[in-house]
Amino acid sequence: MNKIKVGVLGATGMVGQQYISLLAQHPWFEVAYVAASPASAGKTYRDAVAGRWQMVQDVPPGVAGLVVQDANNPALADNHCVFVFSALDMDKQAARELEDAYATRDIPVVSNASAHRGTDDVPMLIPEINHEHINVIAAQRSKRGWQKGFIAVKPNCSLQSYMTPVFALLQAGYEIRKMIITTMQAVSGAGYPGVPSLDMVDNIVPFIGGEEEKSEVEPHKILGRIVDGRIVSDDSIKISAHCNRVPVIDGHTACVSLEFGDNKPSLEEIKRIWHDFKSLPQQLKLSFAPVQPIIYREEANRPQPRKDRDADKGMAVSVGRLRKCNVFDIRFVGLSHNTVRGAAGGGILNAELLKAKGYFD
């Protein structure tokens, strides 16, 4: 099978590097186009990331010699790729306009940026939860007059550490009324070079700009439904979030307390629901779909970032410490790899779902 040529915008950054690394062996997609800021444009990819390459594997040979283009000029991507992954870190309004400009040129955008997460006809996908939100793309295209182009986004990275376990309980029929989340987020979540080492070593920073707002709003859109060509959020769960930056390289951890409605599952029932949970990506056997989306760790001291972030290619959510809560009903700890499940791997899974459903035909 001929692979689909893809582009990576923001290819030189933390998430962009993860895309380049994860796509090196992809069965369907091949990186044919890389773009970043004007500071990197004109250099070979190898030179552009020299001294700041953060991946364990070397720069893949097939990408090392590509010349980095200016991501601000979408015309440069014409005829070089079928769609682009966007891992740009730039002003929100500028990123929104730029992603629109690619889609207008018939180049679909599968984005990690937050620019379009609040746009009501743009699906914000965790494919195990809300894969049917891709159906809003028809309305998105028709409103904007786009034929082939469209925009699909991924939610904030820390949400993947708990939203799938929470969704599994909702899907099993249990109402959730309140949720308190306390995250411990890795430094790679701030990009490269990110938080200065003097702020991070021997320290915790109890503030990540905009993160608590995203954690309290984005779950409602993910759980929403399509009405008249737009996604209407479901805000029935009251959410309170504390987000902290901790001295961990990769892997976002979240301590979660839940209050159920009148019907409350037992701890054993919750573990069974998590164990049995599978969704469309598993049924379709998508290459980046974890075989077991939620892995429950029985050990008293798991999950831990170093030991659990790479579970099932870094795409599974590891959960543990499920116990009764003295204030709400239950509490647990969730963990996922922020630059894989929470960023590039999640973006690739979104693209695999879109490809399987014919959106790149």
| Residue numbers 298-357 binding ligand NAP by CB under 6 A | 338-339, 342-343
Q: Which stretch binds ligand NAP (CB under 6 A): 13-21, 119-127, 198-206, 319-327?
A: 13-21
Verify binding: residue 74, ligand NAP, rule CB under 6 A: no
Residue given tokens 């207008």 in the structure block? 104
| Nearer Cβ to ligand NAP (128/211) | 211
Length of the chain: 361
Q: Which residue is nearest to ligand NAP (CB)?
A: 13
DSSP single-letter state for residue 286: -
Residue by residue, DSSP assigns 299-343 as STT---HHHHTTHHHHTSEEEEEEEE-SSSSEEEEEEE-TTIIII
> Cβ of residue 322: shortest distance to ligand NAP, in angstroms?
26
* 81 labelled catalytic: no
Verify binding: residue 248, ligand NAP, rule CB under 6 A: no
338 vs 181: CA distance, rounded Å = 16
* 252 labelled catalytic: yes
Verify binding: residue 16, ligand NAP, rule CB under 6 A: yes
| Nearer Cβ to ligand NAP (74/296) | 74
94 vs 140: CA distance, rounded Å = 20
- Run of H or E including 64: helix 61-64
Amino acid code (one letter) for 284: L
| Residue numbers 155-184 binding ligand NAP by CB under 6 A | 157
| Residue numbers 188-217 binding ligand NAP by CB under 6 A | 188-189, 191-192
Indicate which single residue of 59, 71, 151, 187 sits in contact with ligand NAP (rule: CB under 6 A): 71
Amino acid code (one letter) for 200: M
> Cβ of residue 210: shortest distance to ligand NAP, in angstroms?
9
Verify binding: residue 21, ligand NAP, rule CB under 6 A: no
Residue by residue, DSSP assigns 141-166 as HHHHT-SS--EEE---GGGGGTHHHH
Structure tokens at 43: 């250099």
Residue given tokens 């195990």 in the structure block? 128
> Cβ of residue 223: shortest distance to ligand NAP, in angstroms?
20
Verify binding: residue 15, ligand NAP, rule CB under 6 A: yes
Verify binding: residue 257, ligand NAP, rule CB under 6 A: no
Q: Return the number of other C-beta atoms located less than 10 Å from residue 2's C-beta.
A: 6
Q: Are 281 and 289 in contact (CB under 8 A)?
A: yes
| Nearer Cβ to ligand NAP (11/351) | 11
24 vs 352: CA distance, rounded Å = 15
78 vs 147: CA distance, rounded Å = 15
Indicate which single residue of 4, 24, 67, 90 sits in contact with ligand NAP (rule: CB under 6 A): 90
| Residue numbers 28-47 binding ligand NAP by CB under 6 A | 36-37, 39-40
- Summarize as ranges the residues that interact with ligand NAP (CB under 6 A): 10-16, 36-37, 39-40, 71-72, 87-90, 112-114, 157, 188-189, 191-192, 338-339, 342-343
The catalytic residue positions are 157, 252
